[in-house]
């Protein structure tokens, strides 16, 4: 089964869909809005994203644009849901009009899961190398963010941050090198 990132600000719908997906054997990661999804995706590595279109903080299309800019998320299929929007502002794998039968969502996910599995089998070893590289890039981005926080914290306490900034710059250089390597793969 698939690892699904479910993003919706409506707690009732989110909980109901989570229960349906979980009972169908999917691994479900829940985000309450687009901002939380952008934070969780690099950590949870979803294979499919199911998202509401209209949400506070960050709407679904903006969230998808941000995720697709991250290494490893360009090809993750997205299913958008909306009661009002019928044509998504971004390319998606499917658009579901609320309310919809839970079986409709399960059918779409089953088709996408089959395509993902077929692609992985066709890609073979190269796919493994790409996934490994993507994971290292995601981890590097996380570490860079942590280092930025350290630099800001040290600076706010009045410490000399030159060494911490050098480490930060070297980390960025390493991630840049991984991104270049990833393009070759």
134-168 pLDDT tens trace: 888 888 889 999 999 999 999 999 999 999 999 98
Domain boundary among 84, 107, 123: 123
The pLDDT of residue 15 is 95
> By the 8 A CB rule, do 150 and 165 touch?
no
Residue pLDDT, tens place only, 83-128? 997 888 888 999 999 999 999 999 999 999 888 777 666 555 566 6
- Looking up residue 9, the CATH number of its domain turns out to be 3.40.50.2300
10 membership: H or E segment, kind and range: none
Q: What is the pLDDT of residue 147?
A: 93
Model-level pTM greater than 0.75?
no
Torsion sign over Cα 133, 119, 115, 1: negative
Residues making up the chain, counted from first to last: 185
Cβ atoms of 77 and 45 within 8 Å: the answer is no
CA distance 109 to 116: 10
pLDDT at residue 114 in the model: 84
What pLDDT is stored for residue 134 in this prediction? 83
Residues 22 and 96 placed together within one structural domain of the fold: yes
Expressed as residue numbers, the domain containing 91 is 3-123
Q: Please say which residue of 79, 106, 123 terminates a domain.
A: 123
The dihedral through the CA atoms of 128, 132, 133, 134 has a sign that is positive
Total tally of structural domains belonging to the chain = 2
CA distances from 96 to 55, 67, 128, 151, 176 (A): 16, 20, 32, 44, 37
Asked if residue 133 and residue 80 are part of one domain, the reply reads no
Residues 158, 118, single domain; the answer is: no
SS3 content of the chain, % helix, strand, coil (to 5): 60, 15, 25
**pLDDT at 41 exceeding the cut of 90:** yes
């Amino acid at each position: 089964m698939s690892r699904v990132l479910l993003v919706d600000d409506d707690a009732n719908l989110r909980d109901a869909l989570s229960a349906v997906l979980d009972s169908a054997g999917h691994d479900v990661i829940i985000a309450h809005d687009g901002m939380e999804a952008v934070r969780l995706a690099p950590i949870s590595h979803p294979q499919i994203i199911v998202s509401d279109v209209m949400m506070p903080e960050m709407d679904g299309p903006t969230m998808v644009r941000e995720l697709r800019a991250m290494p490893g998320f360009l090809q993750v299929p997205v299913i958008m849901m909306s009661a009002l929007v019928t044509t998504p502002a971004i390319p998606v794998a499917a658009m579901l009009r609320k309310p919809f039968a839970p079986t409709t969502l399960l059918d779409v996910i089953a088709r996408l899961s089959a395509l993902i599995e077929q692609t992985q089998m066709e890609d073979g070893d190269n796919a493994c190398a790409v996934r490994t590289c993507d994971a290292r890039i995601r981890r590097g981005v996380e570490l860079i963010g942590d280092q930025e926080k350290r630099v800001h914290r040290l600076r706010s306490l009045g410490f000399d941050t030159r060494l911490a900034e050098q480490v930060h710059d070297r980390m960025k250089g390493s991630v840049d090198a991984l991104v270049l390597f990833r393009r070759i793969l």
